[in-house]
Homo-oligomer: A and B are copies of this chain.
Amino acid sequence: MADLATLPTPCLLLDEPRMTANIARIHGRLAGTGVSYRAHLKTAKSVEVARRQMAGPQGPAMVSTLKEAEIFADAGVADLTYGVGIAPDKLERVRALRARGVDLGMILDSVEQAEAVAAASTPDLPLAALIEIDADGHRSGVKPDDAGLLRAIAAALAPRAELRGVLTHAGESYFAKGQAALEAAAEGERLAVVGAAALLREAGHPCPVVSVGSTPTLMGATSVEGLTEFRAGVCVFFDLFQAGVGVCSPDEIALSVLTEVIGHQKDKGWTITDAGWMAMSRDRGTAAQAVDQGYGLVCDLAGRPIPDLVVVGANQEHGIVAQRAGAPYPAPDLPIGTRLRILPNHACATGAQYDRYEVVGPEGWRASWPRFSGW
Protein backbone atom coordinates (compact mmCIF):
# COMPACT_ATOMS: atom_id res chain seq x y z
CA MET A 1 0.00 0.00 0.00
CA ALA A 2 1.20 3.47 -0.87
CA ASP A 3 1.97 6.00 1.82
CA LEU A 4 3.52 9.44 2.02
CA ALA A 5 6.93 7.88 2.56
CA THR A 6 6.83 5.83 -0.64
CA LEU A 7 4.58 7.59 -3.19
CA PRO A 8 6.67 8.57 -6.23
CA THR A 9 7.47 12.27 -6.14
CA PRO A 10 6.31 14.76 -7.17
CA CYS A 11 2.63 13.91 -6.81
CA LEU A 12 -0.54 15.75 -5.89
CA LEU A 13 -2.02 15.11 -2.46
CA LEU A 14 -5.66 15.75 -1.63
CA ASP A 15 -6.42 16.06 2.08
CA GLU A 16 -9.90 14.58 2.19
CA PRO A 17 -10.95 15.83 5.66
CA ARG A 18 -10.04 19.39 4.65
CA MET A 19 -11.96 19.05 1.38
CA THR A 20 -14.98 17.67 3.22
CA ALA A 21 -14.90 20.61 5.63
CA ASN A 22 -14.57 23.09 2.75
CA ILE A 23 -17.55 21.56 0.95
CA ALA A 24 -19.60 21.71 4.16
CA ARG A 25 -18.65 25.37 4.49
CA ILE A 26 -19.82 26.10 0.92
CA HIS A 27 -23.18 24.46 1.43
CA GLY A 28 -23.46 26.09 4.86
CA ARG A 29 -23.02 29.54 3.34
CA LEU A 30 -26.16 29.02 1.23
CA ALA A 31 -28.25 26.85 3.58
CA GLY A 32 -31.70 28.29 4.13
CA THR A 33 -31.29 31.10 1.60
CA GLY A 34 -33.21 29.45 -1.24
CA VAL A 35 -30.17 30.00 -3.45
CA SER A 36 -28.74 26.83 -4.93
CA TYR A 37 -25.05 25.96 -5.21
CA ARG A 38 -23.99 25.25 -8.77
CA ALA A 39 -20.73 23.42 -8.16
CA HIS A 40 -17.95 24.65 -10.45
CA LEU A 41 -16.06 21.54 -11.51
CA LYS A 42 -13.20 23.25 -13.38
CA THR A 43 -10.89 23.24 -10.34
CA ALA A 44 -11.05 19.57 -9.46
CA LYS A 45 -11.88 18.01 -12.88
CA SER A 46 -12.60 14.79 -11.03
CA VAL A 47 -15.74 12.68 -10.93
CA GLU A 48 -14.93 11.58 -7.39
CA VAL A 49 -14.61 15.15 -6.17
CA ALA A 50 -17.67 16.31 -8.12
CA ARG A 51 -19.87 13.68 -6.46
CA ARG A 52 -18.91 15.05 -3.05
CA GLN A 53 -19.09 18.69 -4.14
CA MET A 54 -22.49 18.79 -5.88
CA ALA A 55 -25.82 19.12 -4.10
CA GLY A 56 -26.98 15.91 -5.81
CA PRO A 57 -25.69 13.26 -8.20
CA GLN A 58 -27.10 15.04 -11.27
CA GLY A 59 -25.85 18.53 -10.36
CA PRO A 60 -26.29 21.39 -10.66
CA ALA A 61 -22.79 21.98 -11.94
CA MET A 62 -20.69 24.43 -13.91
CA VAL A 63 -17.90 23.60 -16.34
CA SER A 64 -15.23 25.58 -18.14
CA THR A 65 -14.75 23.26 -21.13
CA LEU A 66 -16.96 21.01 -23.20
CA LYS A 67 -14.66 18.11 -22.37
CA GLU A 68 -15.65 18.60 -18.72
CA ALA A 69 -19.30 18.64 -19.79
CA GLU A 70 -18.87 15.41 -21.73
CA ILE A 71 -17.00 13.56 -18.98
CA PHE A 72 -19.35 14.66 -16.21
CA ALA A 73 -22.33 13.81 -18.42
CA ASP A 74 -20.87 10.32 -18.77
CA ALA A 75 -20.81 10.22 -14.95
CA GLY A 76 -24.51 11.08 -14.74
CA VAL A 77 -24.46 14.84 -14.26
CA ALA A 78 -27.51 16.19 -16.10
CA ASP A 79 -27.73 19.89 -15.13
CA LEU A 80 -24.73 21.75 -16.50
CA THR A 81 -23.77 25.27 -17.50
CA TYR A 82 -20.79 25.82 -19.78
CA GLY A 83 -19.23 29.00 -18.49
CA VAL A 84 -17.17 30.34 -21.41
CA GLY A 85 -18.83 32.43 -24.13
CA ILE A 86 -19.97 30.03 -26.79
CA ALA A 87 -17.96 29.85 -30.00
CA PRO A 88 -20.09 29.01 -33.05
CA ASP A 89 -17.83 26.04 -33.88
CA LYS A 90 -18.69 24.43 -30.53
CA LEU A 91 -22.46 24.31 -31.09
CA GLU A 92 -22.34 20.85 -32.61
CA ARG A 93 -20.86 19.40 -29.40
CA VAL A 94 -23.47 21.31 -27.38
CA ARG A 95 -26.25 19.80 -29.49
CA ALA A 96 -24.79 16.32 -29.05
CA LEU A 97 -24.83 16.74 -25.28
CA ARG A 98 -28.39 18.02 -25.25
CA ALA A 99 -29.45 15.18 -27.54
CA ARG A 100 -28.15 12.80 -24.83
CA GLY A 101 -30.53 14.39 -22.36
CA VAL A 102 -28.07 16.70 -20.65
CA ASP A 103 -29.62 20.07 -19.82
CA LEU A 104 -26.58 22.06 -20.86
CA GLY A 105 -26.85 25.85 -20.77
CA MET A 106 -24.42 28.15 -22.56
CA ILE A 107 -23.43 31.75 -21.99
CA LEU A 108 -23.05 34.57 -24.52
CA ASP A 109 -22.79 38.34 -24.67
CA SER A 110 -23.46 39.31 -28.30
CA VAL A 111 -26.25 39.30 -30.85
CA GLU A 112 -23.98 37.35 -33.23
CA GLN A 113 -23.69 34.48 -30.74
CA ALA A 114 -27.43 34.59 -30.02
CA GLU A 115 -28.17 34.34 -33.73
CA ALA A 116 -25.81 31.37 -34.06
CA VAL A 117 -27.47 29.65 -31.07
CA ALA A 118 -30.93 30.31 -32.52
CA ALA A 119 -29.82 28.99 -35.91
CA ALA A 120 -28.47 25.81 -34.30
CA SER A 121 -31.72 25.27 -32.38
CA THR A 122 -34.42 23.04 -33.79
CA PRO A 123 -37.97 22.48 -32.55
CA ASP A 124 -37.06 19.07 -31.20
CA LEU A 125 -33.76 20.28 -29.75
CA PRO A 126 -33.87 23.92 -28.70
CA LEU A 127 -30.66 25.26 -27.18
CA ALA A 128 -30.56 27.25 -23.93
CA ALA A 129 -28.44 30.29 -23.14
CA LEU A 130 -27.80 32.76 -20.35
CA ILE A 131 -26.65 36.28 -21.04
CA GLU A 132 -23.26 36.94 -19.47
CA ILE A 133 -23.13 40.20 -17.56
CA ASP A 134 -19.97 42.21 -16.95
CA ALA A 135 -20.17 42.98 -13.23
CA ASP A 136 -16.78 44.62 -12.83
CA GLY A 137 -14.90 45.01 -16.11
CA HIS A 138 -12.99 41.78 -15.51
CA ARG A 139 -13.40 40.17 -18.93
CA SER A 140 -16.55 39.32 -20.91
CA GLY A 141 -20.21 40.28 -20.63
CA VAL A 142 -22.84 42.87 -21.38
CA LYS A 143 -22.81 45.98 -19.20
CA PRO A 144 -25.59 45.45 -16.64
CA ASP A 145 -27.39 48.65 -17.63
CA ASP A 146 -27.15 48.15 -21.39
CA ALA A 147 -30.87 47.51 -21.84
CA GLY A 148 -30.60 47.79 -25.61
CA LEU A 149 -28.04 45.04 -26.01
CA LEU A 150 -29.65 42.81 -23.37
CA ARG A 151 -32.99 43.00 -25.15
CA ALA A 152 -31.45 42.60 -28.62
CA ILE A 153 -29.77 39.38 -27.48
CA ALA A 154 -33.00 38.14 -25.93
CA ALA A 155 -34.85 38.95 -29.16
CA ALA A 156 -32.23 37.17 -31.27
CA LEU A 157 -32.55 34.01 -29.16
CA ALA A 158 -36.36 33.94 -29.32
CA PRO A 159 -38.33 32.06 -30.30
CA ARG A 160 -36.13 29.17 -31.45
CA ALA A 161 -33.74 29.11 -28.47
CA GLU A 162 -34.41 29.49 -24.75
CA LEU A 163 -33.29 32.53 -22.78
CA ARG A 164 -32.53 30.93 -19.45
CA GLY A 165 -31.39 33.95 -17.50
CA VAL A 166 -28.38 36.06 -16.64
CA LEU A 167 -25.02 35.16 -15.15
CA THR A 168 -21.91 36.97 -13.98
CA HIS A 169 -18.55 36.31 -12.37
CA ALA A 170 -16.96 39.07 -10.30
CA GLY A 171 -13.42 38.21 -11.29
CA GLU A 172 -12.09 41.43 -9.82
CA SER A 173 -13.11 40.15 -6.37
CA TYR A 174 -9.82 38.23 -6.45
CA PHE A 175 -8.11 41.58 -5.96
CA ALA A 176 -10.34 42.84 -3.13
CA LYS A 177 -8.33 43.99 -0.14
CA GLY A 178 -10.08 43.48 3.18
CA GLN A 179 -13.53 42.39 4.30
CA ALA A 180 -15.31 45.61 3.28
CA ALA A 181 -13.92 45.38 -0.26
CA LEU A 182 -14.92 41.72 -0.43
CA GLU A 183 -18.47 42.51 0.63
CA ALA A 184 -18.60 45.35 -1.88
CA ALA A 185 -17.43 43.04 -4.66
CA ALA A 186 -20.13 40.50 -3.74
CA GLU A 187 -22.78 43.20 -3.62
CA GLY A 188 -21.64 44.60 -6.97
CA GLU A 189 -21.83 41.12 -8.47
CA ARG A 190 -25.34 40.60 -7.11
CA LEU A 191 -26.69 43.98 -8.20
CA ALA A 192 -25.27 43.57 -11.72
CA VAL A 193 -27.35 40.46 -12.47
CA VAL A 194 -30.40 41.47 -10.47
CA GLY A 195 -30.50 44.73 -12.43
CA ALA A 196 -29.96 43.06 -15.78
CA ALA A 197 -32.70 40.53 -15.00
CA ALA A 198 -35.08 43.38 -14.18
CA LEU A 199 -34.34 45.08 -17.53
CA LEU A 200 -35.10 41.86 -19.38
CA ARG A 201 -38.27 41.15 -17.41
CA GLU A 202 -39.52 44.69 -17.97
CA ALA A 203 -39.27 43.98 -21.69
CA GLY A 204 -41.30 40.80 -21.30
CA HIS A 205 -38.45 38.29 -21.31
CA PRO A 206 -38.67 35.72 -18.55
CA CYS A 207 -35.36 35.42 -16.78
CA PRO A 208 -35.65 32.46 -14.43
CA VAL A 209 -31.97 32.06 -13.56
CA VAL A 210 -30.02 34.83 -11.86
CA SER A 211 -26.54 33.44 -11.28
CA VAL A 212 -23.40 34.79 -9.65
CA GLY A 213 -20.22 33.30 -8.44
CA SER A 214 -16.62 33.33 -7.43
CA THR A 215 -14.93 31.91 -4.37
CA PRO A 216 -14.26 35.33 -2.80
CA THR A 217 -17.82 36.58 -3.31
CA LEU A 218 -19.36 33.34 -2.05
CA MET A 219 -17.37 33.83 1.14
CA GLY A 220 -18.03 37.57 1.31
CA ALA A 221 -21.69 37.92 0.29
CA THR A 222 -23.95 39.67 2.80
CA SER A 223 -27.10 39.47 0.67
CA VAL A 224 -28.40 37.01 -1.90
CA GLU A 225 -31.66 38.82 -2.62
CA GLY A 226 -32.86 38.27 -6.17
CA LEU A 227 -30.31 35.51 -6.88
CA THR A 228 -31.22 31.93 -7.74
CA GLU A 229 -27.78 30.32 -7.73
CA PHE A 230 -24.18 30.77 -6.65
CA ARG A 231 -21.24 29.17 -8.45
CA ALA A 232 -17.71 28.62 -7.14
CA GLY A 233 -15.01 26.00 -7.50
CA VAL A 234 -11.67 26.90 -5.91
CA CYS A 235 -13.31 26.83 -2.45
CA VAL A 236 -13.48 23.03 -2.65
CA PHE A 237 -9.71 23.02 -2.18
CA PHE A 238 -8.75 26.64 -1.48
CA ASP A 239 -5.16 27.79 -2.13
CA LEU A 240 -2.58 30.35 -1.07
CA PHE A 241 -4.10 33.01 -3.31
CA GLN A 242 -7.46 32.67 -1.55
CA ALA A 243 -5.65 32.73 1.78
CA GLY A 244 -4.12 36.01 0.63
CA VAL A 245 -7.57 37.34 -0.25
CA GLY A 246 -8.56 36.40 3.29
CA VAL A 247 -11.31 33.86 2.64
CA CYS A 248 -9.45 30.84 4.05
CA SER A 249 -6.44 30.04 6.17
CA PRO A 250 -3.47 27.97 4.98
CA ASP A 251 -4.72 25.22 7.33
CA GLU A 252 -7.81 24.80 5.15
CA ILE A 253 -5.95 24.24 1.89
CA ALA A 254 -6.71 20.68 0.78
CA LEU A 255 -4.17 20.37 -2.05
CA SER A 256 -0.44 19.99 -1.68
CA VAL A 257 2.43 18.67 -3.75
CA LEU A 258 4.54 15.90 -2.22
CA THR A 259 8.22 16.39 -3.00
CA GLU A 260 11.63 15.10 -1.98
CA VAL A 261 14.84 16.97 -1.22
CA ILE A 262 17.49 16.23 -3.86
CA GLY A 263 20.29 18.63 -2.93
CA HIS A 264 21.52 21.84 -1.36
CA GLN A 265 23.46 24.97 -2.13
CA LYS A 266 24.40 25.69 1.46
CA ASP A 267 26.22 28.95 0.77
CA LYS A 268 22.92 30.40 -0.49
CA GLY A 269 20.63 28.70 2.03
CA TRP A 270 18.96 26.76 -0.78
CA THR A 271 17.37 23.34 -0.52
CA ILE A 272 16.68 21.81 -3.94
CA THR A 273 13.61 19.60 -4.40
CA ASP A 274 12.08 17.60 -7.23
CA ALA A 275 8.99 19.84 -7.40
CA GLY A 276 9.74 22.55 -9.95
CA TRP A 277 7.27 24.62 -11.92
CA MET A 278 6.04 21.56 -13.79
CA ALA A 279 4.87 20.20 -10.44
CA MET A 280 3.62 23.52 -9.01
CA SER A 281 2.54 25.24 -12.27
CA ARG A 282 3.89 28.59 -13.36
CA ASP A 283 1.17 30.40 -11.39
CA ARG A 284 2.67 33.23 -9.36
CA GLY A 285 -0.62 34.85 -8.37
CA THR A 286 0.54 35.64 -4.84
CA ALA A 287 3.36 37.80 -6.25
CA ALA A 288 0.89 40.70 -6.40
CA GLN A 289 -0.48 40.10 -2.88
CA ALA A 290 0.77 41.43 0.45
CA VAL A 291 2.55 38.12 1.16
CA ASP A 292 4.37 36.64 -1.82
CA GLN A 293 4.38 32.87 -1.38
CA GLY A 294 6.86 32.24 -4.20
CA TYR A 295 5.94 29.00 -5.95
CA GLY A 296 4.41 27.65 -2.75
CA LEU A 297 4.57 27.39 1.03
CA VAL A 298 6.57 24.49 2.43
CA CYS A 299 4.98 22.13 4.98
CA ASP A 300 6.21 19.07 6.79
CA LEU A 301 4.87 15.65 5.93
CA ALA A 302 1.90 16.15 8.27
CA GLY A 303 0.89 19.26 6.32
CA ARG A 304 2.00 21.83 8.94
CA PRO A 305 3.66 24.92 7.42
CA ILE A 306 7.33 25.32 8.30
CA PRO A 307 7.61 28.96 9.33
CA ASP A 308 8.88 31.28 6.59
CA LEU A 309 9.97 28.47 4.28
CA VAL A 310 8.87 28.98 0.67
CA VAL A 311 9.72 27.83 -2.84
CA VAL A 312 11.64 30.93 -3.88
CA GLY A 313 12.42 29.74 -7.39
CA ALA A 314 11.57 26.97 -9.79
CA ASN A 315 13.01 25.41 -12.91
CA GLN A 316 11.12 22.80 -14.88
CA GLU A 317 11.81 19.95 -12.46
CA HIS A 318 13.72 21.72 -9.67
CA GLY A 319 12.23 23.68 -6.79
CA ILE A 320 14.47 26.03 -4.83
CA VAL A 321 13.35 26.19 -1.20
CA ALA A 322 14.67 28.90 1.10
CA GLN A 323 13.72 30.91 4.14
CA ARG A 324 12.24 34.34 3.69
CA ALA A 325 14.74 37.12 4.29
CA GLY A 326 14.89 38.08 7.96
CA ALA A 327 13.36 34.89 9.36
CA PRO A 328 14.07 34.97 13.11
CA TYR A 329 15.05 31.30 13.47
CA PRO A 330 17.69 29.02 12.04
CA ALA A 331 16.93 27.34 8.73
CA PRO A 332 15.64 23.80 9.25
CA ASP A 333 17.89 20.87 8.49
CA LEU A 334 16.40 19.07 5.48
CA PRO A 335 18.74 16.26 4.43
CA ILE A 336 18.62 14.66 0.99
CA GLY A 337 15.63 12.35 0.88
CA THR A 338 13.49 14.50 3.22
CA ARG A 339 9.88 14.59 2.05
CA LEU A 340 7.91 17.83 2.17
CA ARG A 341 4.47 19.05 1.14
CA ILE A 342 4.07 22.31 -0.76
CA LEU A 343 0.84 24.32 -0.63
CA PRO A 344 0.06 25.78 -4.08
CA ASN A 345 -0.68 29.35 -5.13
CA HIS A 346 -3.59 28.34 -7.33
CA ALA A 347 -5.51 25.08 -7.04
CA CYS A 348 -6.77 25.19 -10.66
CA ALA A 349 -3.30 25.68 -12.14
CA THR A 350 -1.42 23.21 -9.93
CA GLY A 351 -4.13 20.58 -10.27
CA ALA A 352 -3.87 20.81 -14.06
CA GLN A 353 -0.30 19.49 -13.93
CA TYR A 354 -1.50 16.07 -12.69
CA ASP A 355 -3.60 13.18 -13.90
CA ARG A 356 -4.64 12.01 -10.43
CA TYR A 357 -5.09 12.91 -6.79
CA GLU A 358 -3.46 10.86 -4.06
CA VAL A 359 -6.14 11.06 -1.41
CA VAL A 360 -4.97 11.33 2.17
CA GLY A 361 -7.15 10.86 5.26
CA PRO A 362 -6.54 10.59 8.98
CA GLU A 363 -4.97 7.15 8.49
CA GLY A 364 -2.71 8.28 5.64
CA TRP A 365 -2.99 7.50 1.93
CA ARG A 366 -6.24 5.80 1.05
CA ALA A 367 -6.93 6.08 -2.72
CA SER A 368 -5.94 7.48 -6.11
CA TRP A 369 -8.67 9.44 -7.87
CA PRO A 370 -8.27 10.16 -11.59
CA ARG A 371 -8.23 13.73 -12.82
CA PHE A 372 -8.44 14.91 -16.41
CA SER A 373 -7.29 17.88 -18.46
CA GLY A 374 -7.74 19.22 -21.97
CA TRP A 375 -10.60 20.34 -24.12
Q: What is the interface of chain A, defined by CB distance below 8 A to chain B?
A: 6, 8-11, 42, 64-65, 83-90, 93, 108-110, 112-113, 116, 134, 137-140, 171, 260-265, 268, 270, 272, 274, 277-279, 281-284, 313, 315-318, 320, 335-337, 346, 348-349, 352-355, 373-375
Contacts and interface: CB of A to CB of B under 8 A. Distances in A.
A12 to B, nearest CB: 10
Contact of A272 (B88, B140, B264, B318): B140
Contacts of A137: 268
Contact of A317 (B64, B86, B261): B64
Given A139-B272, A139-B318, A315-B139, A89 B355 contact: no
A84 B318 contact: yes
Nearest to A356: B374
B355 A140 contact: no
A138 B93 CA distance: 47
Number of copies of this kind of chain in the complex: 2
6 contacts: A8-B90, A110-B264, A138-B315, A140-B272, A278-B352, A279-B375
A349 B315 CA distance: 11
A84 B352 CA distance: 22
B265 A84 contact: no
A260 B336 contact: no
B337 A355 contact: no
